[in-house]
Amino acid sequence: MNLIIVGLNHKTSPIEIREKLSFPSQTIGEPLKKLTNHFGLNEGVILSTCNRVEVLAITNDMEKGVWQIKRFLSDYHAIPLEKLDEHLYVHLGEDAVKHLFRVGAGLDSMVMGEPQILGQVKDSYGYAVQFNTAGVIVNKLYHKAFQVAKRIRSETKIGESAVSISFAAIELARKIFGDLSGKSCMLIGAGEMAELAAKHLLTNGIREILVANRTYEKAVEMVKGFGGTAIMFREFPHYLKNVDIVIASTGAPNFIIRPDQIHEVMRERKQKPMFFIDISVPRNIDPLVNNVDNCYVYDVDDLQGVVVANLQERSKEAEAAERIVEEEIEKFYRWIKSLDVVPTIISLRQTCDQIRKAEMQKGLASLNHLSEKDRKVLDAMTSAIVNKILHHPVTHLKKEANKVEGDLYIDTIRKLFDLTIDEEAVKKAQNNDD
């Protein structure tokens, strides 16, 4: 089996190249068919996202295969190969398996461990199935890749920590409040960032969102989007005691929330914790508010720090994830190895011969009167029967093994006869052949 991946990603190429090379999913059938029909590749999958374009293919000849895929990319998008080549990476054999596993688990993504890529890999495989360019190896390989991604997700925390500012803020809120349902939030300033944060809060089940903006109409406009309540800007201090999270993003040149004011608010709300997120520059919330008991103030820099900390914690998880990848590659290769035709034939012959011998022994035990010569005749006869029965399957296996469907034949034989590979026996047999 010769597996090849040729492609480029955000690390090896600028966006200008990536966008030229992308394959829209609506018309993906055409390039897939071209890949397998015109370029003579056995199986093919095309993964196209905004950060990467990759072609995975199974071929009989690696060197030729790589060249074919490169030609395909260049022909299909009408980009001269000389311009393209410097951005392309090539992964062959085991290296390609590893690459696919890592991509699926998000280990190769711009934001490590991000979950979207798995869905995109799943889609790319889905198209290959739909347009009949996925064979037995691609099937097994992708199912394994999904398994690996799932295992990494469940055994490491790589996907857990938030690595964008607004997600980091939500995660902080959850470390303070636990469950966010039943909590309420006030946005002071109806900017884009605030709106984004509000949407994240809503998906995390926040109960109520108040919006205060200097231009009241803008606040009204904004709450239409998610069913919050608009309040007059000058009245926002009166509502502070009712909200748990405050997100400030006004253009005000000075602090609009001060410690003395919050002391009062905290007394009124019986010291229930408050979380202040200040995404405005210059800052709108006096950092001294952080010194008030049960109040936590984070500005943009603090949130950036949280993102860095989260990323560090993730990279610790990446080690564990890489170990899982290695483990799974080994498992996959054990399966791949079993697809070699020679060991399969040896194993098939051995299995049948073992059955023959066992049955002979049983039969002969009750045929004591037979002479040595009779026994030899019987032995030769049963041997001949087994050999004759196996003759056609073995000839076909040998013939088909190098064709497109070869792996399917081998896999089927292994399953039908319940064959296991005895590596020692295979080695021995191969040495005898030499």
Partner 1 sequence: MSEIFFHITAVAYLVATFVYIGYLFARKDRLLDAAQYILLAGFAAHTVTIVTRWVAAGRTPATSLHESLTFFSWIVIALYMFLLFKYKQRVLGAFIAPFALLLILSASLLPQEIIPLAPVLESYWLPVHVILAFMGNAFFALAFFLGIMYIIQERYLKKRKLKGLYFILPSLEVLDELNYKCLQYGFPLLTVAIITGAVWSEYAVGSYWDWKPRQIWSLITWFLYAALLHGRLTAGWRGRKAAIFSGTAFMILLASFIIINLVSGGAHGLSQ
Shortest distance (Å) from residue 410 CB to partner 1 = 37
Out of 50, 185, 295, 352, the active site residue is 50
* Segment lying near partner 1 (by CB under 8 A), choices 140-148, 176-184, 228-236, 354-362: 176-184
Binding residue for partner 1, selected from 14, 119, 178, 282, defined by CB under 8 A: 178
Q: In Å, how far are 26, 54, 391, 419 from 416, measured between CA atoms?
A: 39, 35, 16, 8
Give the span between the Cα atoms of 35 and 119, in whole angstroms: 23
In the complex, minimum distance from the CB of residue 228 to partner 1, in angstroms, rounded to a whole number: 23
Structure tokens at 50: 């905004």
Q: Kindly indicate which of the ranges 90-98, 310-318, 325-333, 383-391 contains the residues binding partner 1, using the contact rule CB under 8 A.
A: 310-318
According to the binding rule CB under 8 A, does residue 306 interact with partner 1?
yes
In the complex, what is the shortest distance from the CB of residue 433 to partner 1, in angstroms, rounded to a whole number? 46
Minimum separation from the CB atom of position 347 to partner 1 (A) = 37
What distance, in Å, lies between the first and last C-alpha atoms of the chain? Answer: 23
Q: Which is nearer to partner 1, 251 or 305 (CB)?
A: 305
Pairwise CA distance, residues 416 & 422, whole Å = 17
Q: Which is nearer to partner 1, 61 or 160 (CB)?
A: 160
Contacts of 150 (CB under 8 A, 6+ apart): none
Preceding peptide of 282 cis, ω within 30°: yes
Residue closer to partner 1 by CB (options 271, 354) is 271
320 binds partner 1 (CB under 8 A): yes
Query: Is position 207 an interface residue for partner 1 (rule: CB under 8 A)?
Result: no
Binder of partner 1 out of 296, 328, 409, 426 (CB under 8 A): 296
Of the candidate residues 77, 174, 218, 258, the single one contacting partner 1 (CB under 8 A)? 174
Site membership for partner 1, residue 298 (CB under 8 A): yes
The CB-of-310 to partner 1 minimum distance in angstroms stands at 8
Residue 309 interacts with partner 1 (CB under 8 A): yes or no = yes
Q: Binding residue for partner 1 (CB under 8 A) from 42, 74, 280, 310?
A: 310
Nearer to partner 1, 134 or 165 (CB): 165
Site for partner 1 contains 313 (CB under 8 A): yes
50 in catalytic set:
yes
Please give the size of the binding site for partner 1, defined by CB under 8 A. Answer: 29
- Which residues contribute to the site for partner 1 (CB under 8 A)? 155, 157, 161, 172, 174-179, 267, 270-273, 290, 293-294, 296, 298, 302, 305-306, 309-310, 312-313, 316, 320
Which residues are known to be catalytic?
50
